[in-house]
Amino acid sequence: MSHPAEPPSGTPGARTLPAFPARRGGPVRGRTVWARAWSAAVEEIWPEPEPLKRGRAFARTGRLGAVTVAPGRVRAVSYTGAAAYPTELTVPVLDEADWERLLEVAAARPRLTAALLEEELPAEFAEAAEEAGAPLLPGHGDLATHCGCDAPEHPCPHATGLAVQTAWLLDQDPWLLPLLLGRTREAVVDDLKAELLLRAMTEVTAHGDDRAWEPGESEEPEDQAEPSQPSDAEDDAHDGDGTHGAGGTHGADHTEPTEQTEPWDAGEPGGTEEDEEEHDDPFAAGPPEPDARAPRGSRALYTRERLPLPDLPPLPPPPADMEDPPATGIEADPLDRLVADAAVRARELLAHLHGAGDAEPPPPWDDWQDTVRLAATHPDPRARERLRQAVADRAARRGLGLDPDLLAEAWRTGGAAGLEVLERPWTPGRRETARARTALAEAWSPDEEPALTVEDNRFTFGAQGPQLRLGRDGRWYGYLRQGGAWWPTGEPDPDPAAVTADLLAASERRP
């Protein structure tokens, strides 16, 4: 790593992002893996709790201006009363050799390569950086601060607050971290493409088997050339009893030619009828060997097992202008919906049989789940009203005192798993509950963590929430109190801190 010189105004790749408004509560360490990794690195560099506490408090005040991220630097203006102080964090950038090693390691990881080419930044990129000896996060002695406040303590609240807001920026765009280390998103992707191209070229040429064919050179490789045959003169040198004539050159120690061991070529004369029958189908024994002069990659493709042709496409739907009345006298709209649902389910099962997708398709829904699903997702409001009443009737028969709209919202939030979380509490094991408590505690600043009440799989902060429910599928479901009942809110997520942050943001948006 090397420290950069002062970047001039308009540094290529520098980005200026809007100032954060004042906020209350919520995860100060960020929600994403990159934000939390940055926060953990900062807390390891500055382990004293008081400066961190003051910095977090300042970050929430909204008194930091727009933040500029450039290679090696994060800058903002801090406002305290009428005074304004330029505040800056500096870190070492990765040099050319660091980036070259990092992208070499990344190019050797197929999943990471695919994600980077899609301009995504997965956590595996940090693992590749560690393996390459080019860590992405600052360590001891790497994070320096400069602030115009000239406060005696180090770091000052302005610099610590800027470090806290840097984690929030990584929540918005993790590619700011490579930019801070000297590479824009576009440069990382372009350099990775160049590395992949170089690897492909090197793989072909490294084996020496893509050498151009020279005129006069045998088309057969030396190890596959036909055994030499005796010339006409040598044949004439033999007499009828198998001995050599006077002009023979082989002498008395001549031995009979050994039996040819090369595979017989169906295109040459001399084969038996059985051989001809065996070679009627030229593809019966698989594809022939490719030319040995072809590159290794081409030979591998040439000898790959032949795949069957794809199935025929499905028949197209009937024309849209068909006006014949249904033969059954039943309205066509619900039938269309049922047919569409069956087609989607059939496609999921077929895709699983073909090996597409990692997870096995969910089991079929029972009548209760299917009724709630249709009430939650049917596009026709008239049908939804009828289905809402059906949900209310079936809920009463099941002894559920739940509003049909609440049940439909649970389905829209998490499907069958979300409906189960709403209906039936369950008790996680002790270890699972302890891990959940720890994960939820990390979502709050240590000085602002509210009281946590745990009842079965339901974790409630304070008296009025928010509430998180742990599903049997391992995901967390957020709930907010509304009209005396808990309503599902937001998308479920395996990370409880992310769900907590979404719930707090949703509660702030409420009038």
- pLDDT per position as a tens digit, 357-388: 556 677 777 888 888 988 888 777 777 788 88
Q: Return the higher-pLDDT residue of 364 and 156.
A: 156
Tokens 């906020």 found at: 23
Q: What is the mean pLDDT of residues 10-32?
A: 81
- What is the distance in angstroms between the CA of the first residue and the CA of the last residue of the chain? 50
Per-residue HEC secondary structure of 212-261 comes to CCCCCCCCCCHHHCCCCCCCHHHHHCECCCCCECCCCCCCCCCCCCCCCC
Q: What is the mean pLDDT of residues 190-202?
A: 83
Residue 126: per-residue pLDDT: 94
Residue 234: per-residue pLDDT: 45
The answer to whether the beta carbons of residues 192 and 103 sit under 8 Å apart is yes
> b/e per residue, 340-366, with b = 16+ CB within 10 A?
eeeeeeeeeeeeeeeeeeeeeeeeebe
Residue 359: per-residue pLDDT: 64
On average, the pLDDT of the chain sits at 76
- Give the closest residue to 453 by CA, choosing from 443, 468, 439, 442: 468
Query: In Å, how far from its chain's centre is CA 463?
Result: 38
Residues sharing a CB contact under 8 Å with residue 395, sequence separation 6 or more, in sequence order: 401, 402, 404, 407
d(CA 102, CA 177) in angstroms, rounded, equals 14
The pLDDT-based confidence of 28 (bands split at 50, 70, 90) is confident
